[in-house]
Amino acid sequence: MNATPSHQALQPEFRLLVLLVSIGFFMQGLDTTIVNTAIPAMAANLAEDPLQMHSVVVAYVLSVAACIPLSGWLADRFGVRNTYFAAIIIFTLASLGCGLSSSLNQLLFYRVIQGIGGALLLPVGRLAMLKVIPRTQFLSAMSLMSLAGLMGPLIGPTLGGWMVEVATWHWIFLINIPMGLLGVLITFKAMPNVTEPGVKPFDFSGFILLVIAMVGLSLGIENFASPHQSLWWSMGLVLAGVLAAIIYAIHAHTHHNALFRSTLFSNKIYAIGIIGNFFARLGGNAMPFLLPLMLQVAFGFEPFITGLLMIPTVLGSLASKPIIRQIIQRFGYRQVLLVNTLLVGACIASFALTTADTPIWLRALHFFVFGMLNSLQFVSMNTLTLKDLPQQDASSGNSFLSMIMMVSMSIGVALAGTLVNVFSAYFGSEQIVTAFHSTLIFLGCINLITAAIFWQIPRHTQI
């Protein structure tokens, strides 16, 4: 049977481009997750406290978030091929720097550079496909590319755990180098350098305000429990972040060329979706960092076993994908998000009931259920947020959502790490399990705030 005109199979001349974008998507997805199971081994090698190592995750995610607004403008100004080529080079060289690091400060420096490259890989690659591949074949191209995005989180934790057992933690970064070199070799063959005429000047003042807001909030929260920084320094960072966010809100309302115009938030559904996304992801996105840390530091699991135990979470996410649309059609966005938000919060808090003696089958089932609920939450929130945006706001609205998703992940990981340290200091270092359990209950309770936000969704809001 022939494909319908709107869903044609991908033609051979575009397959190399899809492969190239998939390489970038895979590297970014892998690097977001592969570090999580390796953190205790990295801490031991670098003579650091594993409970203070969340900065390795935060540095990468935060720099990705900060540079997302740059991606579209750079691609339009200098061309998608040149920008993508630069992104792969930056990401690959930074991965080499991470792999050769001999101190935490060196590693953090290269993780920031790596995040800058990672911020450009997926948005620019997706933009290249959008500009080059005909609309009739775009769905097929996106489906193939999404497989690479799923493979990174699926194998990342297990691969990271295996590598620190058979080699050293340095190899979780060095593994990017052959993939990066492959991407470099085929970029000029597969991707035309499409540019846009008459690109508007970049909103540097707005960009700087956004960076200050993101860095101030994330690092302020991260440093609250740091023995190396004073409480006043942390409070100053948070205050600077809040002030920068307020000034940007004024800037977005008055500046005609602002990165994200305030008119975006005149759409009630979009505003609810953005705020809900931010709070919902604080707990959900902290789990891939917090759970492997608890399994190893509190329960004494080996890194490879820890990585294997994280696979059911990704499988649960995959299993939920085919049924999400039918669930939303049946019950509507408001009911789905209200109920599922509370279920996700309860599931996060219920991890506090687990111990080192919890049966493996029960732990795997627990992770699978969490993966299903979390995936339903994220997909529902994202589609709700973007569904009513007018065409002229679609690109800007999607970029802002992507940035909020990464900022929330950064703050969520920083918050989780800080809470573990605060509770560890309160209960005593010998009560580390209690510290993790208290953190999980706190993160689960944040979803009560999220549910209150989604209560504002108009009734009968459908796909």
Domain contains 5: no
Which residues constitute the domain of residue 318? 264-463
Whether 171 shows a pLDDT value over 50: the answer reads yes
Q: Are residues 41 and 115 in the same domain?
A: yes
Q: What is the CA 256 to chain-centroid distance, rounded?
A: 30
Q: Are residues 137 and 230 in the same domain?
A: no
Domain contains 3: no
Q: Are residues 221 and 327 in the same domain?
A: no
How far is residue 427's CA from residue 449's CA, in Å, rounded to a whole number? 27
Alpha carbon distances (Å) from 203 to 247, 286, 348: 14, 31, 39
Domain contains 320: yes
How far is residue 86's CA from residue 117's CA, in Å, rounded to a whole number? 8
> What's phi and psi for 155, nearest 5 deg?
-95, -15
Q: Are residues 101 and 137 in the same domain?
A: yes
274 confidence band (pLDDT: 50, 70, 90) = very high
Q: Which residues of 106-129 are buried (b: 16+ CB within 10 A; e: fewer)?
A: ebbbbbbbbbbbbbbbbbbbbbbb
- 6-15, 216-225, 349-358, 364-373: which range is least confident on average? 6-15
Whether 396 shows a pLDDT value over 80: the answer reads no
Q: Are residues 237 and 383 in the same domain?
A: no
Domain contains 8: no
How far is residue 450's CA from residue 432's CA, in Å, rounded to a whole number? 28
Residues 438-463: pLDDT tens digits?
Answer: 999 999 999 999 999 999 888 777 66
Last residue of a domain, one of 213, 228, 258: 258
Give the chain as a 3 state SS string.
CCCCHHHCCCCHHHHHHHHHHHHHHHHHHHHHHCCHHHHHHHHHHCCCCHHHCHHHHHHHHHHHHHHHHHHHHHHHHHCHHHHHHHHHHHHHHHHHHHHCCCCHHHHHHHHHHHHHHHHHHHHHHHHHHHHHCCHHHHHHHHHHHHHHHHHHHHHHHHHHHHHHHHCCCCHHHHCHHHHHHHHHHHHHHHCCCCCCCCCCCCCHHHHHHHHHHHHHHHHHHHHHHCCCCCHHHHHHHHHHHHHHHHHHHHHHHHCCCCCCCHHHHHCHHHHHHHHHHHHHHHHHCCHHHHHHHHHHHHCCCCHHHHHHHHHHHHHHHHHHHHHHHHHHHHHCHHHHHHHHHHHHHHHHHHHHHCCCCCCHHHHHHHHHHHHHHHHHHHHHHHHHHHCCCCHHHHHHHHHHHHHHHHHHHHHHHHHHHHHHHHHHHHHCHHHHHHHHHHHHHHHHHHHHHHHHHHCCCCCCCCC
Read off the amino acid at residue 28: Q
Last residue of a domain, one of 258, 279, 294: 258
Q: Tell me, what's the pLDDT at 293?
A: 92
Whether 338 shows a pLDDT value over 70: the answer reads yes
Q: Are residues 194 and 124 in the same domain?
A: yes
Residues 15-72: pLDDT tens digits?
Answer: 888 888 888 888 888 887 888 888 988 988 888 888 888 889 889 999 998 888 888 7
Domain contains 71: yes
Q: Are residues 220 and 116 in the same domain?
A: no
Residues 91-116: pLDDT tens digits?
Answer: 999 999 999 998 999 999 999 999 99
Domain count, the chain: 3
Q: Tell me, what's the pLDDT at 198?
A: 74
Token readout for 141 is 């191209």
CATH number of the domain that 452 lies in? 1.20.1250.20
Q: Tell me, what's the pLDDT at 9?
A: 62
426 in Cβ contact with 265 (< 8 Å): no
> Model-level pTM?
0.86
Highest mean pLDDT among 251-255, 326-330, 412-416: 412-416
Q: Are residues 189 and 159 in the same domain?
A: yes
Whether 167 shows a pLDDT value over 50: the answer reads yes
Domain contains 185: yes
What's the average model confidence in pLDDT over 428-442? 92
Residue % of the chain over a pLDDT of 70 = 94
Q: Tell me, what's the pLDDT at 254?
A: 86
Q: Tell me, what's the pLDDT at 425?
A: 87
430 confidence band (pLDDT: 50, 70, 90) = confident
Domain contains 9: no
354 in Cβ contact with 250 (< 8 Å): no
Q: Are residues 83 and 131 in the same domain?
A: yes
Token readout for 409 is 């992940």
Q: Are residues 142 and 270 in the same domain?
A: no
Whether 147 shows a pLDDT value over 80: the answer reads no
Q: Tell me, what's the pLDDT at 74?
A: 87
Read off the amino acid at residue 167: A
Q: Are residues 161 and 150 in the same domain?
A: yes
Whether 5 shows a pLDDT value over 70: the answer reads no
Long-range interactions of 166-172: CB distance < 8 A, separation 24+: 168/41, 168/45, 169/38, 169/41, 169/42, 169/45, 170/98, 170/99, 170/100, 170/101, 171/99, 172/34, 172/35, 172/38
Q: Are residues 114 and 238 in the same domain?
A: no
Token readout for 378 is 């994220």
Q: Tell me, what's the pLDDT at 302?
A: 92
Domain contains 6: no
Q: Tell me, what's the pLDDT at 346?
A: 96
Last residue of a domain, one of 226, 243, 258: 258
How far is residue 92's CA from residue 125's CA, in Å, rounded to a whole number? 16
